[in-house]
Each structure stands twice: as structure tokens, then as C-alpha cells.
Amino acid sequence: MAGNCGGELGGEVGSAVLEALFAQAPVGLVIVDTDLRIRRVNTLSRGDSGAAADGLLGQPVAKALNATDPGGVAAMARAVLSTGVPVLDRLVPGRPNAEPGPEHVYSVSLFRLQGNNGRVLGAVASLTDVTERERERARAAVRDAARKEIGRSLDAITTCRELADVAVPEFADAVVLDVLDTVVRGNEPPLGPLFGDEPMQRTAFKSATGPPRAYSAGGTSRFPYPTPYTQSLGDLEPRLVTLDETTSWLAADPERGRALREAGVHCMIVTPIVLRGAVLGIAGFYRSVRPDPFTADDVVLAGELVAFTAVCLDNARRFTREHTIALTLQRHLLPQGNVSQAAAEVAHFHRQAEVSGGWFDAIPLSSARLALTVGEVAGHGLHTATTMGQLRTAINALAALDLDPDELLARLNDTVIRLTAERSALPPADPMRDEPLRATCTYVVYDPLNGECTMACADYPPPVLVHADGTSTIPDVPRGPSLGDEEEPFAAARIRLAEGSVLALYNDGFLEAFRAASPETARNRLRQVLSHHERPLNELRDDAVYSLHGADRPQDDAVLLLARTRILGENQVATWTVPPSPEEVALARDRAVRQLADWNLTDHSLATEIIVSELVTNAIRHGTPPVRLRLIKDRFLTCEVSDASPAAPHLRHARTLDEGGRGLFIVAQLAQHWGTRYTGSGKIIWTEQALSQQAVRQPER
């Protein structure tokens, strides 16, 4: 009896539950038979489908959702009937009949129905509209992608393209970003509002359907008034705009309007790119392929994407500005162009990297000699470029003292040590305090009178020497310590170069650009290119650069300095030995005047006569024999007087009643430059007088 009552109660409860499910359940329920035809639907299902129950009965199961892919829904249901394995939370797109506009997303779960005898009766499908949930999930995915993908570089255009890559096609069918031209170049953005006629660069464009001609990236753009673009730039607020045949503002911008219609754009969001009240540009998000329009929530998401991009874009702008300043500083700290030299023909190549500390120089020295130097300060950035400028200035100052290469590097090493000590005294918060200062350098001095070349290296690649017969060698130059190291002293190597020899100085960055397996392999490739030494030097330099095979921009500067040597002819140099007698001074003056007449430089006879008289007199009175007088004619008229005494005279300003002491002062007034150079056998006092271009080019007799 109890069992019967329980059975009756159970049957009654079962019937009540079944009726409640189909009348009051918060999810849609659909029962289908083995032919996948709808046999019963609940109230929610009828509401979702927009159809009456009678209209759905007997219809295929996909009709309950008006599924976009009815075949896929049928295959899913058929698999459940055949295997008995249920399907849980499968997302199915559909468009209810009552709402022909936006597409909905349904969560579908399918279970097989079986009788007591195991016979398959059909299946039950539960349907839940999860459109808003999925839209929010999609928006969250776009936000997450933006945090990961946008701002990975400090380049303004790359940052804008990253936003476009994130938004298309997950959020929009097309994205266009226009950034103020002044911002792209690193300058401060203007405060809003803007009028829309400010020049903007089309920094990014991406479309899932192809590029409309009005939106292709590159070039500059302006926005006619009045349009949603100018309105957003004016009040700095985003705009959700629907486009149809009645849209009136398109007439103000016919070209853009034509492109929007051709692309089938039906909805767009226009958002100004603003940071702390300053306007960086404007972004446009467009939908044309997907039929559902943007919503208010989408406007919020577009604003978040643009706001995040604005921060990254401003960081890129600041970096661009600092980078431009550093590159400009580095450029102005390096020599400009190839200056004509009497000692050698010079050509250089310098490819800047990320504001590195590479330098090169060709420094004219006294007596027609030439100094060549290539060096590098380790590191990147403004401080590295500044340190490079300090060391290059120090090299030029030390070169004016006519120091031998090994001695110059020793003095330069002392300078680096002092700069390092200054860094260690910086405040603890200064990032330069703990940044090591390390520099490397090669310094070469070439004398065109005898072809002697003296070179020294501070932890730098050895030069490549191409001889006049086309063979090449690597000079055996002792590789000293890097500058700033308190180690063993520097050593110099001396070799003789024939006229027409090519000397190549380079840095590690240039060798790395060859993409060779080792520095030695890269050096051999450079030697092979330079073996065609008979070609003009600029062409030889270009051939060396072309052999880099389109290498990517290196991390460090790539520097190459080429010099083709010259030997001064006998008709450009005159040398005499002066006996240590006061009577020889007059003879020395006469010899100098006659030589100037032979060189057609009689305009310089008076000044040269006084210079020779004063210098020879000083050498005889205060120096040590032998005394020699030498005149050199190249770009300058050089007068040298040498003796065996290491003591050098000093320029003094004689008082009114003094009988002497004015000689060197007079020499300094008559000459453009003068100085003292020490040699292994004594010293040389030299002066230089400027010659006109006509005098330099005139033929020798």
C-alpha cells in the first residue's frame, strides 16, 4: 500500500516537475524525437525563438534557435542519440525570429532520452542565452591582449599598429589611427581642444576586409568640419556613430564618406587619443562585416584601449625626443665630411646604432703629418654619446701636443680614469654612479715625408693594411689594455708605407655587420674587398659597405675609416743643416727666401725670413747641434728648426725696457700655428703659414 502510495506520489511529483520545467524553468527546454524533430518546447524556448509552440512542433531542432549553422546543430544532436554521450555548454550562434538584427549566442546542452527497456526515445536540449556573457568575455579577452601586446616597443608607429592588431578582428572590422605629426616626431602634444585641421600622420590601419583607399596607412591627413572626428577633437569625448542613407555629416567629407560606403561600414566609434588633457591623435573603430552594431559597453572598451595606448604612445614620444636629442648630439660631436689632407686621401663610413659611443677622426698634425683614430665608448644613450665627445675632444687636444701614439693613449687613459673617479663621486641615486666607463681606441700617425706610420691600440681590432701591389696584411700592433684599466703601458708599432697604400681602421661593430662566423672571417672578407685598391677611395669604401649583405642595424655603431697614403715630392720639401755659428743665420734666411721664390710664394718671403731668423738664432744660442732648417709646402707653408736639445723655448711678453724676449712672440704673431715636437734625438720648433688655394694648386718648378 505504501509502495503504491509512493508510486502514485512519485508519478504525481514527476508529472508536476515535468510541467514546471516546461512552464516555469529559467532555461529553454526542447524535446526532439529520433528524427531530430521538435516534439515539445517550454515557454522560454518559445520566447527565445519568437515562434508559437505550434509553429515549432515538427520542425528540425535547429529551428528552436534559428541557428546560423543548422547542419552543425543537427550533427551534434545526432551524435548524442547514437553514442549517448551528452554535450555540455556548447556555444551555438543563432538569430531569434523576433529579433532579426544582432546575432545571439546560446549555451546548448544535449542529453539522450531512453525508455525503461533501453529504447532510445529522443533527446532533451537545454538552451541558455549567453550573448551578454560572451560579449563581456570577448571584451575581457581584448583588454587582456591589449595589456600584453601594446607598448612592447618605444616606437610610436609600432605602438599604434599594436593597437590595430589587438582590435581587429576581435573587436572591430577595421581600425584607423591618426597621430599628430608633431607627436610622431617626439614633440610635446598640444592641449585640447583641437579643430581637426592640424596635420596628422596615418600611423596605423588594419582591416579584415581589405584597405579602403581613404584609410591606407602613411601620409598625412586632416579632418573637415563638421564631422564626428572634429567633434571628438573639440570636446575630447568619444562618439558612437551609426551610418545609413540619412547620415548627413558625410557630405562634409565626401572622400571619406565614399570610402565608408564602399566598405559597407554601418557603425563606428571615434575616440580622441588624450593624455592629461593633451591630444595625441584620434582613433576610429569600424564595423562592416559583422552585422551587430557597437554598444555603449563597446564605447567604454574603445576608450580603455585608447587610454592605454595613449600612455604607451606618450612613452614612445618621450623616447623619440630623447633619442633624437642624443643622435643630434652624437652627430654634432663627430666630424662632418671628408676634409682634404696632404698626407692621405681619407674616406669614412659611420652607421649610427642606438646612440652608441663610436667615433672616428682624421686630425691634421704639424709638418704635413696626419693622425687617424677610431674608438668606442661602451654603452648606449645620451651619457655614452657625451663621454664619446669628451674623449674625442681630449684626443684632439693631445694630438696638438704632437705626442707619439703610445704616449697619447697613456694620457687618454689618465683622462678616462679621472672621468671614472668623477662618476663614483655622483650622488647614490644617479644611475651613472655605478655604470662602468670603458673605452677602446686605435691611434695612428702617418708622416708623408718618409712614409713612416706609427700606431698603437687600446684593446681595439688591428688595422688592415693594403699595400701598393694589392696584397694585404694585418700589422703586428701590440693590443694594449682598454682605456680606464690601470694595467701594463701601451706600446707602439712602426712600419713604412709606400705611396698608394690603403690603411683601414674599423670597430667591432663593423665586423659584426658582416654576419661572419668569427671576427677573423669578417676581417678576411674586408681584406678581400679592399684588395681592389686601385679604385677610387669612395668607391672602395662603398664596396666594403655593400659587402655587409644588407645586415640588420647593429646594436653598436659601425665605423670604417680608410686612408690612401701620399708621399710628398722632393720639390715640396727643402732641408738644410745650419752650422752652430751666428753668421749662419743670414745664410739660412737667404736660402729660405730663394726657396720661396722657386715655389712662387714670394708673398710670404718677409714673414718667413723673420720666422727663420728668430728660430735659427734661438737654436744656435740655446740649443745643441746639429741644427737643421726644413721648409715644407703642402696646404700650409711649414717652417721647422730642429736641434738635439730637449729643452723647449717659452713664449714671453717682454717688458718695454727689455732688450730680448720678443722673438718667439713675434713668430707667434706671424704664423697661423706654431708648436714644439719632441723626437728621440731632440726637438723641433715648427710654424705654419696659411697658403691660398691658388698657391697650393700651382705647379712646382
User: Which pLDDT belongs to residue 248?
Assistant: 86
Class of domain 571-697: alpha beta
| Geometric angle at alpha carbon 17, from 15 and 20, rounded to 5° | 110
Of 109, 130, 150, nearest to 48 by C-alpha is: 130
Residue 130 DSSP class: -
Cell 704635413 sits on residue: 368
| Better-scored residue on pLDDT, 173 or 385 | 173
Q: What percent of the chain has pLDDT over 70?
A: 86
The CB density around residue 132, as the number of other CB atoms within 10 Å, is 12
| AA identity, residue 660 | G
**Contacts by residues 112-121 (CB-CB < 8 Å, ≥ 24 positions apart):** 112/80, 112/81, 112/84, 112/86, 113/31, 114/84, 120/34, 120/81, 121/33, 121/34
User: Among 63-67, 129-133, 472-476, 519-523, where is mean pLDDT lowest?
Assistant: 63-67
The CB density around residue 510, as the number of other CB atoms within 10 Å, is 29
**Most confident of the following: 256-270, 306-320, 669-683:** 306-320
CA distance 157 to 166: 14
Cell 670604417 sits on residue: 560
* SS3 assignment for 396-429: HHHHCCCCCHHHHHHHHHHHHHHHHHHHHCCCCC
Residue 187 DSSP class: P
User: Which pLDDT belongs to residue 657?
Assistant: 40
Domain 22-129: which CATH number of 3.30.450.20, 3.40.50.2300, 3.40.50.300, 3.90.1150.10 = 3.30.450.20
Task: Concatenate the DSSP letters of all residues of 301-322 into one string.
Answer: HHHHHHHHHHHHHHHHHHHHHH
CA 19 to chain centre: 71
Fold annotation for 135-323? Beta-Lactamase (3.30.450)
Asked whether the domain spanning 335-565 has the same topology as the one spanning 22-129, the reply is no
Count CA atoms within 13 Å of residue 533 on its CB side: 22
The string of pLDDT tens digits covering residues 172-200 is 999 999 999 999 988 899 998 898 888 89
The string of pLDDT tens digits covering residues 202-225 is 999 999 886 555 555 566 778 888
Q: What would the grid cell of residue 593 be?
A: 727666401
Q: What would the grid cell of residue 73 be?
A: 546543430
What are the structural domain ranges in the chain? 22-129, 135-323, 335-565, 571-697
Cell 727689455 sits on residue: 658
Architecture of the 335-565 domain: 4-Layer Sandwich (3.60)
Pairing state between β 573-578 and 627-633? antiparallel
Cβ distance 334 to 375 under 8 Å? no
* Segment holding 88, helix H or strand E: strand 87-94
CA 209 to chain centre: 32
| Better-scored residue on pLDDT, 519 or 466 | 466
User: Which pLDDT belongs to residue 466?
Assistant: 93
Q: Provide the sign of the torsion angle of the four alpha carbons 371, 372, 378, 381, taken in this order.
A: positive
Of 369, 293, 360, 371, nearest to 330 by C-alpha is: 360
Residues 6+ apart with CB under 8 A from 629: 575, 576, 577, 578, 588, 591, 592, 612, 615, 616, 639, 640, 641
Q: Phi and psi at residue 239, in whole multiples of 5°?
A: -130, 130
Residue 250 pLDDT exceeds 60: yes
Q: What would the grid cell of residue 687 be?
A: 710654424
The CB density around residue 584, as the number of other CB atoms within 10 Å, is 19
Cell 704632437 sits on residue: 402
This prediction's pTM: 0.68
Residue 100 pLDDT exceeds 70: no
CA distance 155 to 160: 9
User: Which pLDDT belongs to residue 339?
Assistant: 62
Residues 6+ apart with CB under 8 A from 146: 163, 166, 304, 305, 308, 309
Residue 495 pLDDT exceeds 70: yes
Q: What would the grid cell of residue 158 be?
A: 609600432
User: Which pLDDT belongs to residue 660?
Assistant: 46
The CB density around residue 17, as the number of other CB atoms within 10 Å, is 11
Where would I find the beta strands (DSSP E) of 533-657? 558-565, 573-578, 627-633, 636-643
State the pLDDT confidence band at 693, using cuts at 50, 70 and 90.
low
State the pLDDT confidence band at 688, using cuts at 50, 70 and 90.
very high
Pairing state between β 636-643 and 682-690? antiparallel
User: Which pLDDT belongs to residue 654?
Assistant: 43
3-state secondary structure of 272: strand
Q: What would the grid cell of residue 678 be?
A: 719632441
User: Which pLDDT belongs to residue 556?
Assistant: 66
What residues form DSSP beta bridges with 439?
A: 377, 483
Angle between helix 156-167 and 131-149 (nearest 10): 160
**Most confident of the following: 39-53, 380-394, 578-592:** 578-592
> What integer is the mean pLDDT of 19-36?
74
Residue 549 pLDDT exceeds 70: no
Q: What would the grid cell of residue 677 be?
A: 715636437
User: Which pLDDT belongs to residue 698?
Assistant: 54
The string of pLDDT tens digits covering residues 334-370 is 777 666 677 899 999 888 766 678 889 999 999 999 9
